[in-house]
Structure 1
């Protein structure tokens, strides 16, 4: 690039760059198309040469050599597996079908020869390095030993107990396969096969002897699997044994859970609890011996401890306390996690306890929701009489024990969340892999603890069947305490706590509707408290906005209660409710003038959240007040006028001048219309003039401020709002007064437009004047046409055409002159 040349203006340089980029893009597209065509030609020629040589086309990029779809080792393994399967099928068929055709000596000879050959064949194969072939032959040999056991059973060996014989055979085969694997360490299959066979003996013996011992048999098998997984050196055996331990352990827990659920007494639950304790000991042993298994094994141990202890505690506690029983049992692994244990084990035990407590809390929280909304749904009507107690106020037919246990369950869950938050704050030296979990716990655990604590407090009255008066007082103290905590604190838990406080306040308001004194006491205290909280909060503007809106909502509720107590009509109640928008807009204006974050708001600056939310609340409550008075048109007019005054006062603020001003004008117009409708006025001018006069006034001010503004933009809407409705009615009015007045107004408007050289008044006035004149002259024209001879209209039409034709050019010139003069107007 020539740096000595003077730089181009930015616009010209941008155009130059765009042209160069377009040229390069066009060239690139052409080259890519050419390349694709050349590749197609080359591949087509290669395919033609291959077909001429009688071969198959070579794969692209293979350099003319055919690329196989599988590797040599894959093909080898497939062949070996297939061969082993076929030999196994043949052996099974021989043993099951053809066995009876041989004598005892022949049978023994065949079994010994085939099994021995199959088990011995891997030795020379391993020496020659044919490992895969050796594995396939060894698999056949192991299968033949199973068939040998079956054959021995067929000749009567082992007595009549088939299940017991199968258990003994499985134990013997497991030992034989394990020894075979030790003799030939180059084989992988015998070790896992021995572990798999070892899963059956205890299970089969328990099934044959006593099915009640099935859980213990599975537990003992799981212990054996854990021992193999920990102490055997071969990786394949360890992994397979670990998987077997997980399966048998879960199976033992499932059988024990069924027994625990069906227990009717604490003594009946002790047996399954002992099984769960044994499972927990085995899992903790595995967690202590293996760092990799520490977390899942300790979590499994924690769940087993909770299931066992919870089953016993459930039978001790009253009916309906099952969830609380398991929540109490979660203290066992939680306490174990607090001991000096490795980090993985502690996290597993603590996670199990937290999971169970979280599930218990989720199952109990619907009772908290019912405590809040139940009194409202069960209420037959406001002030119909207070219920006997908090539980009766719910209006549900549930076991009271459910509510009696709810506070305890929620308190336990809250304590666990608080402990988790404390651990997350104080944990030091945490490995980097666990920091995200600790950070997440630090973020949500405090809020969860606070919310669960509030939920527990809310359910206390129903749990203890507190009387109505004490319940209201307790609920008021709880709501005020929760709101006060949210107001005086800062941090991530404030929104949750604030939401809990407002939910509790709303539920308390619904409960208080049963009694008049309680209603006014509760609502009055809540309004005062919310206003004070909105003023004193340190939690930020968003929290202040929420509190202000809540204060407006409860204030509206209180005013409606006052209206009901005073036996006011719906319209009068709407007039009383209009006090809320007035106060809300006044507070919003004060909030807009108040500095935010130490910096005063500039004129025209965006309003803060308090201002916006209060103005929105004022609009919603104002609309509700107008709807209440919708059956009374005079009162509706008054309410709309008051709303217009409030909007006009809001429009005095610079940043709200345009939207609030337009809203005020619309509300005043609607108020005028409602008043006219109440007076049964049907004249359209009475409805159109309140719209057109302000519109024309705005147009005049706009033309004075910006003389270049078109008359259509300035005066068109206002004139059309008046002329069009009046013209529509005048065309169907049989009287003469309305057309006369409308024609006179249109004439004056036309003359003013011509004098002031304005298009909108001239055109609109002229059109209306012409239509009114035609409407008035139409009867006379019809009458005159009826008395004239029939030949006269065609004659007059012909004369008119001749006259027009004679002066056509002059008329066109006059029409152009008239059009140009109109176009030169504004």
Structure 2
């Protein structure tokens, strides 16, 4: 035992102080030795030959300690000594019972604890502190033992109900079981006597709940009786928790938690039979609204208890329906269907709670979200082969219905989104399989059609999801959600619900038709039409950011497989391409913005080209003949481009502001870019027409000549810029030249000039026209290519060919001489120099050919005379050469 603090004061003699220290030290050592000796008989359970005195020695030590503290100790020391006396007295009283009557130990302990608590309560207030602490220690020890034993009994009672739905089995009852409720009540009574007044209701709540759980230990109790006791006690506790609005926070929390524990135990016990579980769920469904109605008006934790009770009650409804159907022998799929139908009750309850009990709306919404998740995911865990997609889609619709015209709360909205995604994932493979099976080998004949397995279910799911998406888009945000309570229709967005549901409906209808085994070409035509319509709507949608994002992917995803399914026959192919041409022309004429119109016209050109080729092949014509139809498309495109450019420049578009200095510049720029793109497309289509002729030279020549005429007619149109005219004229001339070459090749013409002179004439004509219209242009750029094409190929042929070619040599010399004379007269440098460059090698070639025809002295004589003349007039020749150089350098 610890010694009390010494009464040391200033001036205390050292001898007295030493006496105090020695005395208390000896007292403590003696008590410690005595206590160690007294513990031996307590442990052995016998003293002086009898078990009744087993705790006597330790009790004597405790009394000696208390007497010493009473005689000379301080207040704290006396309280500690008195507090130690209580557990020692309890041990002295209980130890003989443990030796003599061990079967009554629990009862004896309870009686001793409550007796000691009563005795402590009877002490004067000034002397009660230490004994109260000791009594609380004793009661706590017994309470822990009783709680553990009660938990074991409750666990055994609940375990007896499993395997579930087998009627349960009696739980084993221990021989000491009848003492457990008494011990629990005695412990609760002792704690209530020792606790403050405010804590006694808490003790009563916990003690009562433990007593109810311990009651089955008294005797073998049927599970229905255990169930009734749990439900009655839980109901009383929950009603007591919310019965008085001003009840303290700890009482409400403890009562609610103990009631929840009892309800959970009752549910486990009720699993012995469907009737028991159904009864528990029915009590939950009925008790929850009552607790919610009483608790929502309270303070502190009472509104929380009310909300949780309401949430549990809403969950109990579909669970109770499923258990009831199970008890009636319904198969698993009917149980799942019944639970799904019963979720309508929580939906209606959420609507009513939002209107009448808005403070509990969050709890009800969360409960509904859990119920929706359970029924939506139920087919994944419940045997029966139910389609998870349908249940998930139904759950998404029920989540939307809980909003009552506005968007639901966060929890149901999140659950609905997850279920909608699950339904889409479940239905997507079947829908994709239907779409991907549409394309067939071109012109392979009408395909055989069989109903697609599972497509009907997938189509129905997609329709439900489309309805859900459209309904959600039409709903306004809930009041207080941070957005103005406007519907999309009021804000000018009436198209948004249709846009949200369109993708699902566009895919669902052909899937349903495929499930019904609709004959060809119903399904591919519907898919193709839906895709084309989506693309047209996207182009005509105007300034609506969401429309292209939704419609463009949908249109491309449907148009391709739809057209692939129509190509089974010639008529289907032509019909599909014809629809593409018309739709693209509509987009080009009325699309918004300008980029959409340009894309529409380019698509129309491509579709018309494909239509022309397909029509020719469908009519049995060869590809070389189809080239003329393709050329007609190119001609129409080339001559329609100016009109489209003028319309675009004059009218920016249906959705764009007409007029204004700010819009004029971008409009003209866009028109120019579109015109260039369309003209390039026309040229590309013409090139394709040429390629389609293959090895037929006469057909290719005809295509080139016709295209040259078409382009030349375009050159004559008013309003064209000079640069555009030059470009078109070059294309027309080149096309005609190529056509001429091809005709010559087809006729077997081998004369070189037949190929070079037309090209040279075309180039010289263009150069002469350029010299007249562009004064600063020099002759090399204007006339050099044409003269080179006219002179150089023939000169190479003359110099390299083994035959004499007299006519070619004469003609070449005359042409070169004419070029030199003409260039000198017009003061053009290029003709003079190129003609001279041709005449010199030609003259040398003539000399070389005449070397063997004349005597050698003639050449020597002429050379000598030339040298003499040059030497005699050397200075004048130099002046003439300088003047020639200056004259040539001054030419253009």
TM-score range, shorter chain: 0.5 to 0.7
Q: 1:683 to 1:387 in 2, by over 3 A?
A: same
Looking at structure 2, the residues matched to 454 and 736 of structure 1 have their Cα atoms a distance apart, in angstroms, of 79
Aligned counterpart, 2:449: 389
Deviations 1:466-503 (A, max 9, x none): 11144366457656765786687655266454775576
1:327 is matched with 393
SS in 1 for 2:784: helix
Question: Separation in 1 of the partners of 2:552 and 2:824?
Answer: 67
| Matched position secondary structure for 1:701 | helix
Shift of residue 663, structure 1, vs aligned partner: 2.7
More displaced 10-residue stretch of structure 1: 726-735 or 599-608: 599-608
Q: What residue in structure 2 maps to residue 724 of structure 1?
A: 792
Alignment of 1:48-59 (within 5 A): none
Correspondence 1:457-472 to 2 at 5 A:
457-471=509-523
Q: What residue in structure 1 maps to residue 820 of structure 2?
A: 750
Q: Does 1:513 align with 2:567?
A: yes
For 1:365 and 1:660, the matched residues in 2 are separated by 53
Distance 2:485 2:850 in 1: 99
Give 1:590's match in structure 2, choosing from 640, 643, 647.
643
What corresponds to 1:628 in structure 2? 692
Distance between the aligned counterparts of 1:743 and 1:536, measured in 2? 60
Question: What is residue 666 of structure 1 aligned with on the other side?
Answer: 734
The Cα of 1:321 is off from its aligned counterpart by 4.5
User: Equivalent residue for 2:378?
Assistant: 312
Aligned counterpart in structure 2 of residue 567 of structure 1, from 617, 620, 631: 620
Structure 2 partner of 1:642: 706
| Partner residue of 1:375 out of 422, 433, 438 | 438
In the alignment, which residue of structure 2 is the partner of 1:762?
A: 832
Structure 2 distance, partners of 1:321, 1:660, is 65
Distance in 1 (alpha carbons) for counterparts of 2:589 and 2:383: 46
Q: How far has the Cα of 1:573 moved from its partner? A: 1.4
> Per-residue CA shift, 1:728-763, capped at 9, x if unaligned?
433321223234432332222122222322111111
Which residue of structure 1 lines up, in the alignment, with residue 176 of structure 2?
Answer: none
Structure 2 distance, partners of 1:816, 1:471, is 88
Judged with a 3 Å threshold, the aligned counterparts in structure 2 of structure 1 residues 584 and 805 are, in CA distance, closer, same or farther, namely same
The match for 1:714 is 782
1:409 equivalent in alignment to 2:461: yes
Structure 1 unaligned regions, length at least 5: 1-104, 106-156, 165-201, 213-232, 234-263, 392-398
Q: Identify if the C-alpha distance between structure 1 residues 273 and 698 changes in structure 2 by more than 3 Å, giving closer, same or farther.
A: same
How far is the alpha carbon of 1:316 from its aligned partner?
8.8
The whole-number CA distance in structure 2 between the counterparts of 1:733 and 1:635 is: 33
| Residue of structure 2 in register with 1:350 after alignment | 413
Structure 1 residue 568 displacement after superposition = 1.0
Contact 1:482 1:497 in 2 (8 A): yes
Q: Tell me by how many angstroms 1:608 deviates.
A: 6.9
| CA distance in 2 between partners of 1:301 and 1:777 (Å) | 114
Over 3 Å counting, the alpha-carbon distance change for 1:461 and 1:273 in structure 2 is closer
| TM score, norm. by length of structure 1 | 0.54
Q: Distance in 2 between matches of 1:732 and 1:299?
A: 99
After superposition, the C-alpha distances for 1:292-340 in whole angstroms (9 at most, x for unaligned) are: xx99x99997875554222335689997944444333322333334488
Residues 722 and 797 (structure 1), Cα distance of their counterparts in 2 relative to 1, 3 Å cut: closer
**Residues 705-746 of structure 1, C-alpha deviations (whole Å, 9 max, x = no match):** 333421112212222233333334333212232344323322
Partner of 2:772: 704
CA displacement 1:479-532 (0-9 Å, x = unmatched): 67657866876552664547755764554433222234444455556655665x
Trace 1:121-132 onto structure 2 (pairs within 5 A).
none
* TM-score of the superposed pair, with normalisation by structure 2: 0.50
Check 1:502–1:537 CA distance in 2 against 1; reply closer, same or farther (3 A cut): farther
Is the CA contact (8 Å cut-off) linking 1:327 and 1:356 kept in structure 2? Answer: yes
Cα 1:718–1:429 shift into 2, 3 Å: farther
Distance 1:478 1:521 in 2: 15
Q: Distance in 2 between matches of 1:818 and 1:584?
A: 55
Distance 1:593 1:451 in 2: 37
Partner of 1:218: none
Confirm or deny: 8 A CA contact 1:390 1:468 kept in the other structure.
no
Asked if structure 2 preserves the Cα contact closer than 8 Å seen for 1:545 and 1:609, the reply is no
Shift of 1:630: 2.4
Within 2, Cα distance between the matches of 1:325 and 1:802? 118
| Aligned positions, number | 570
Decide whether aligned partners of structure 1 residues 497 and 766 sit closer, same or farther in structure 2, where only a CA change above 3 A counts: same
TM-aligned CA distance change 1:703 to 1:537, over 3 Å: closer
> 1:46-445 maps to which residues of 2 (within 5 A)?
266=333, 304-313=370-379, 321-338=387-404, 346-358=409-421, 360-361=423-424, 371-372=434-435, 374-376=437-439, 378-379=440-441, 381-382=442-443, 384-389=444-449, 400-401=453-454, 403-423=455-475, 431=482
Supply the distance in 2 between the matched residues of 1:462 and 1:649 (Cα, whole angstroms).
52
Unaligned runs of 5+ residues in structure 2 are 1-42, 44-147, 156-260, 272-299, 301-330, 653-657
- Bigger Rg over Cα: 2
Asked whether the 8 Å contact 2:581–2:607 carries over to 1, the reply is yes
Matched, 1:691 2:755: no
Change (3 A) 1:372 1:706: same
Partner residue, 2:747: 679
- Quick one: structure 1 residues 611 and 270, their matched pair in 2 at CA, closer, same or farther if it must change by over 3 Å? same
